[in-house]
Amino acid sequence: NSDGTKQRPIMVHRALFGSIERFFAVLLEHYAGAFPPWLAPVQVMGIPISDEHVVYLDGVAGQMRARGLRVEVDSSDDRMQKKIRNAQKQKLPFMVIAGDDDVAANAVSFRYRDGTQKNGIPISDAIDEIERAVIDRIQV
């Protein structure tokens, strides 16, 4: 101190979120960013083939949100391939893609994180499959 005497130092430390932060760090490391659908912040990305399909996918996204799914629609000006690549880089569990044939059939093309794809899946079936993966905590 100021008069030259030794005193025991006191350190005040507070880590309200320390254990939570460590837990999330372990999760990130374990899953390498590819969270299972039930844990992923965004579970589904809607990807329109062209701008005309954005409204259709917004409707599909609304149905998914009504079932408790976390979904976004990529309405950016990027080409479809770039949108798919962006979703893959984000390691999103599911992508639903819509074009003219899908709109006419009230369906979507359904793409998994690993790149496999099913085309012409009725909207209700696609939503059921995603919801089942979330509820049953299936890793895709």
Q: Is residue 12 a part of any domain in this protein?
A: no
Residue 35 tokens read as 């969270």
Whole-structure pTM value: 0.83
Q: Is residue 84 a part of any domain in this protein?
A: yes
Query: Would you say 91 and 114 are in contact if contact means Cβ atoms under 8 Å apart?
Result: no
Q: Which domain holds residue 50?
A: 44-135
Spatial CB neighbours of 53, under 8 Å, sequence gap ≥ 6: 98, 99, 100, 102, 103
Stretch 53-80: mean pLDDT, rounded? 97
Q: Is residue 107 a part of any domain in this protein?
A: yes
User: Each residue of 87-102: pLDDT tens digit?
Assistant: 999 999 999 999 999 9
Q: CATH number of the domain that 112 lies in?
A: 3.40.50.800
d(CA 117, CA 52): 22
Q: Is residue 65 a part of any domain in this protein?
A: yes
What local confidence, expressed as pLDDT, does residue 11 receive? 75
Q: Is residue 77 a part of any domain in this protein?
A: yes
d(CA 134, CA 119): 21
d(CA 91, CA 13): 36
pLDDT at 17 over 80: no
Q: Is residue 39 a part of any domain in this protein?
A: no
Q: What is the mean pLDDT of the chain?
A: 92
Task: Classify 106 in phi/psi space as left (phi over 0), alpha (psi -120 to 50) or beta.
Answer: left
Count up the domains in the chain and report the number: 1
Closest C-alpha among 101, 139, 106, 112 to residue 125: 106
Q: Is residue 109 a part of any domain in this protein?
A: yes
- What residues form DSSP beta bridges with 47? 97
Q: Is residue 90 a part of any domain in this protein?
A: yes
